[in-house]
């Protein structure tokens, strides 16, 4: 892990994987096939890519019941507690419709309406994270989305991991289809005999899923295309180096391209954290991944003071930011760009990944400059409401048609004039 | 204008113009040039595409002062009144940061932060709409964005239309650059010697502008890529056919591909509106455009009852919806998808384009199913805040590491365990 005296520009930006032209063509073909052949295409691709021969795409109630047998009761309780916390946090994001009235009788407003339907992509195999299901489904449910569909690629024996089925069931989601990849995204965007088309597709996936989401975007909405995960720890000399090293490694184990960075004015802390990272790496099951990430995308930036450390942090605009300084909370107001801010020594990043309540789907790759965590807002849309009164029209009509004519839009002006003439 | 008995699926969707491969390559080259050569590239493209040879990109104060001489005082007053109304409406969209505390000492919250900087593209020539400036700048200002830059292609003599300069000045915007096309978008995304890079680019433009916005998306944020404008009028037998025809034509004059649709259970109204459209078309300055739009994308759908008319309207998910029925307000709750809803006979769509207060940048092409009008929300981003307490860690740490291990993420679990061990 390199220790760097900050001098010039710093950045977490990595090139997004745009796929090869072969991959993009393969995805286009799959989408076309699903549009033309529907379920038959889904079953055939599932056989080809997942090695599973299915009679039916839909997960049966009996499979869900069987899944409960495989889940440790302690884990089940943890899932239930997490759901309560996540639900509670997102409930606070709910925006109400509002209306305002004017003395001339005009009514203006903003109507908030949940999306009709959402599809959630859940990756297969080792990346089938129950926490992703909670983090995507709960804001949609809180928003009031009525139809929520989960798609996930089956294992070779045609099954879906027990943790996925149990988590979905705990959330009350019963519509789960055994299909993954670009074919699942195509099915959610266009619909098939079995799978109903939805208005928005969210959830992580491999490059084929990402390319398929890009391809159907516009027809349906999608969530952000996430880059590799990132953590920045902003710490002073009082921070615990062991905690920091552990937290940096918790990001690094995700992906060789994940980025774990410490920013500190303390050279001593920098040295300690470096040593701790090396020590803790030794016994990690995902040592190789974490080591590659630390080597290629990890860094310790030593700054001349805390002020500069805050500036560097803002330049990095990280997905996850931990602040481990004296009076950490007082720095929150100076953080302009971060997906989630973890304050103080007990706010280890995994607390937010699983349990505290805020969403773990966060802007990566420097996009925290302009993007927000996944939220209830992502599952509603707004409509403006304008009820103009006769009096308001009489009073303001001439101004409105003057503005229309300024822009050379005579038919706009006449739509106003025709009403004024009637008075 | 065709009158159709509704039978099957209806849709406003048109293919979005994705540009030709020549256009996409031209845009890529322009972006590359601006990145490499900065201002020199901007000045050279401005000479090439706009026919203007400039000494300086920045609009001078003297030019702004001179612009006021050219503006009719009545129009200036209308601009000022519109600004007040638009500001007032958007002020109501402001979301506050919030925090919530738990008895165990945990603090959770959502911090709302304005974007640092925004660039607004204003098209040149006849499409230089002062109303677009108001509708893009005001929500950004209300959000608290400090740096707002306007770019707009100059006319051959190197000038920017007076209406643009005056409107910008009335809004307090002094950073206006004489540059348009893909080169302006590239400058806003990457910065040049003169033009500072921004975090988000908004505003309409031609195909080159749209392609450039797509190309820089990810590095910076962009607003939606708007399709041709649309209006749906939902009306019953009590509605005024002259008003409806005038409002349909006010959309149709925008663009040959604009879409103007009446949905009504009344065959009589359908016949009357058709006759009125033909009559009013006669004397329109933009008759040819409006006629083409009405012919190719206009329609009157006659439904069996009002219920079906509401359903058809929701299927169309229009950008603009006018409701001209008895007790129109009572139908608003049944509209699930519309960018803006204009209620009653005096809420002609141009009222919203210019003056009432709500934003006129609205989702087109059926995307009102999942998208919202441009708003203050588009110029802020949110960060989650998590301050976990020692007590909360002791109480919940085991659940958190159990969930991490369920997902096979051992380093995540250890980041929790290392804190539990210290207790």
Do B206 and B259 sit in the same domain of this protein?
no
Do B70 and B137 sit in the same domain of this protein?
yes
Q: In angstroms, what separates the C-alpha of B132 from chain A's closest C-alpha?
A: 10
Residue that terminates a domain, selected from B197, B222, B247: B222
**Is the confidence at residue A1, as pLDDT, over 90?**
no
- Residue B8: per-residue pLDDT: 62
Q: Chain A contact for B45, CB < 8 A?
A: no
B320 labeled part of a ligand binding site: yes
A337 labeled part of a ligand binding site: no
Tell me whether residue A379 is in a domain: no
Please tell me which of the candidates A77, A93, A408 has its beta carbon nearest to residue B126: A408
Q: Which residue of A has its CA nearest to B415?
A: A246
CATH at residue B80: 3.40.50.1980
Do A197 and A239 sit in the same domain of this protein?
no
Q: Quick one: angle between helices A241-252 and B410-421, nearest 10?
A: 170
Do B315 and B406 sit in the same domain of this protein?
no
**Is the confidence at residue B12, as pLDDT, over 90?**
no
Percent of chain A's residues with pLDDT above 90: 88
Please tell me which of the candidates A81, A342, A365 has its beta carbon nearest to residue B386: A342
Q: Which long-range contacts (CB under 8 A, 24 or more apart) does A209-214 make?
A: A209/A121, A209/A123, A209/A180, A209/A181, A209/A182, A209/A184, A209/A185, A210/A17, A210/A19, A211/A19, A211/A23, A211/A24, A211/A27, A211/A182, A212/A27, A212/A30, A212/A31, A212/A181, A212/A182, A212/A185, A212/A186, A213/A185
Q: Chain A contact for B388, CB < 8 A?
A: yes
pLDDT, average across residues B195-215? 93
For residue B14, name the pLDDT band (cuts at 50, 70, 90).
low
Do B297 and B213 sit in the same domain of this protein?
no
Beta pairing, strands A380-387 & A107-114: antiparallel
Do B91 and B112 sit in the same domain of this protein?
yes
Using a CB-CB cut-off of 8 Å, the residues of chain B touching A106 are 356
Residue that terminates a domain, selected from B161, B189, B222: B222
Give the whole-angstrom CA distance, residue A317 versus residue A76.
35
Give the whole-angstrom CA distance, residue B279 versus residue B287.
11
Q: Chain A contact for B93, CB < 8 A?
A: yes
Largest Cα span, chain B = 84
Tokens found for residue A105: 């009788």
Query: Tens digits of per-residue pLDDT, B255-270?
Result: 898 999 999 999 999 9
**Cβ distance of B249 and A337 shorter than 8 Å:** no
Do B10 and B33 sit in the same domain of this protein?
no
For residues A392, B127, B144, A331, the Cα torsion angle rounded to the nearest 10 degrees is 150
- Residue B15: per-residue pLDDT: 66
Do B129 and B168 sit in the same domain of this protein?
yes
Q: Chain B contact for A357, CB < 8 A?
A: yes
Tell me whether residue B341 is in a domain: yes
Do B185 and B257 sit in the same domain of this protein?
no
Tell me whether residue B405 is in a domain: yes
Tell me whether residue A373 is in a domain: no
Cβ–Cβ pairs < 8 A, chains A and B: 351
For residue A219, name the pLDDT band (cuts at 50, 70, 90).
confident
B360 labeled part of a ligand binding site: no
CB B193 within 8 A of CB B41: no
- Residue B7: per-residue pLDDT: 62
Beta pairing, strands B380-387 & B107-114: antiparallel
Give the whole-angstrom CA distance, residue A367 versus residue A224.
10
pLDDT, average across residues A316-334? 96
Which of these ranges, A203-207, B306-310, B340-344, has the smallest mean pLDDT? A203-207
Average pLDDT, chain B: 94
Do A292 and A191 sit in the same domain of this protein?
no
Spatial neighbors of A217 by CB under 8 A, at least 6 apart, are none
Query: Tens digits of per-residue pLDDT, A404-416?
Result: 999 999 999 999 9
Q: Chain A contact for B100, CB < 8 A?
A: yes
- Residue A167: per-residue pLDDT: 97
- Residue A351: per-residue pLDDT: 96
- Residue A7: per-residue pLDDT: 61
The question of whether A337 is a catalytic residue gets the answer no
Tell me whether residue A364 is in a domain: no
pLDDT, average across residues A25-33? 95
| Cα-Cα end-to-end distance for chain B | 77
Residue that terminates a domain, selected from A311, A340, A356: A356
A10 SS3 class: coil
Do A235 and A327 sit in the same domain of this protein?
yes
Tell me whether residue A377 is in a domain: no
- Residue B319: per-residue pLDDT: 96
Give the whole-angstrom CA distance, residue A135 versus residue A173.
13
Spatial neighbors of A311 by CB under 8 A, at least 6 apart, are none
Q: Chain A contact for B129, CB < 8 A?
A: yes
Please tell me which of the candidates B108, B116, B286 has its beta carbon nearest to residue A89: B108
Tell me how many domains chain B contains: 3
**Rounded to 5 degrees, what are φ and ψ at B7?**
-125, -60
Do B256 and B148 sit in the same domain of this protein?
no
Using a CB-CB cut-off of 8 Å, the residues of chain A touching B401 are 350
Tell me whether residue A383 is in a domain: no
B229 labeled part of a ligand binding site: yes
Average pLDDT, chain A: 94
Burial bucket for residue A292 (CB in 10 Å: 0-12, 13-18, 19+): middle
Give the whole-angstrom CA distance, residue B299 versus residue B261.
5
Tell me whether residue B376 is in a domain: no
- Its ipTM equals 0.94
B254 labeled part of a ligand binding site: yes
Query: Tens digits of per-residue pLDDT, B283-305?
Result: 999 999 999 999 999 999 999 99
Range of the domain at B45: 21-222
The residues with which A119 forms a beta bridge, in sequence order, are A149, A201
């Amino acid at each position: 892990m390199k220790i760097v005296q900050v001098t010039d520009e710093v950045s977490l930006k990595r090139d997004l994987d745009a796929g090869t032209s072969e991959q993009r063509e393969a995805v286009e073909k799959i989408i076309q096939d699903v549009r033309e052949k529907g379920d038959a295409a889904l079953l055939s691709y599932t056989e080809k890519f997942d090695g599973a021969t299915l009679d039916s795409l839909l997960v049966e109630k009996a499979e869900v019941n069987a899944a409960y047998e495989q889940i440790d009761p302690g884990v089940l309780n943890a899932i239930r507690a997490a759901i309560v916390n996540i639900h509670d946090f997102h409930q606070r994001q709910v925006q109400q419709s509002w209306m305002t009235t004017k003395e001339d009788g005009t009514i203006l407003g903003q109507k908030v309406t949940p999306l009709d339907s959402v599809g959630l992509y859940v990756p297969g195999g080792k990346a089938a994270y129950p926490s992703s299901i909670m983090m995507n489904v709960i804001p949609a449910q809180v928003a009031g989305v009525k139809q929520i569909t989960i798609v996930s690629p089956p294992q070779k024996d045609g099954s879906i991991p027990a943790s996925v089925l149990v988590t979905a069931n705990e959330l009350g989601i019963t519509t789960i289809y055994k299909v993954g990849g670009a074919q699942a995204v195509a099915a959610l965007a266009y619909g098939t005999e079995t799978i109903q088309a939805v208005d928005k597709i969210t959830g992580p996936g491999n490059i084929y899923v990402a390319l398929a989401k890009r391809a159907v975007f516009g027809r349906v909405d999608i969530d952000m295309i996430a880059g590799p995960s990132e953590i920045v720890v902003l710490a002073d000399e009082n921070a615990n180096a062991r905690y920091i090293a552990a937290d940096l490694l918790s990001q690094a184990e995700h992906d060789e391209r994940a980025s774990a960075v410490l920013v500190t004015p303390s050279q001593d802390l920098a040295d300690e954290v470096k040593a701790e990272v090396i020590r803790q790496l030794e016994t990690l099951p995902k040592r190789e991944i974490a080591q590659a990430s630390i080597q290629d995308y990890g860094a310790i930036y030593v700054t001349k003071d805390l002020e500069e450390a805050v500036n560097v942090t803002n330049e990095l605009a990280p997905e996850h930011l931990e602040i481990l300084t004296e009076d950490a909370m007082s720095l929150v107001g100076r953080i302009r760009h971060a997906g989630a801010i973890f304050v103080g020594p007990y706010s280890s990043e995994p607390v937010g990944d699983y349990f505290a309540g805020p969403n773990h789907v966060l802007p990566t790759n420097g996009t925290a400059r302009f993007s927000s965590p996944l939220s209830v807002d992502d599952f509603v849309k707004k409509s403006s409401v304008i009820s103009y009164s006769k009096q308001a029209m009489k009073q303001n009509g001439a101004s409105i048609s003057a503005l229309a004519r300024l822009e050379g839009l005579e038919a706009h002006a006449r739509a106003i004039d025709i009403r004024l003439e009637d008075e």
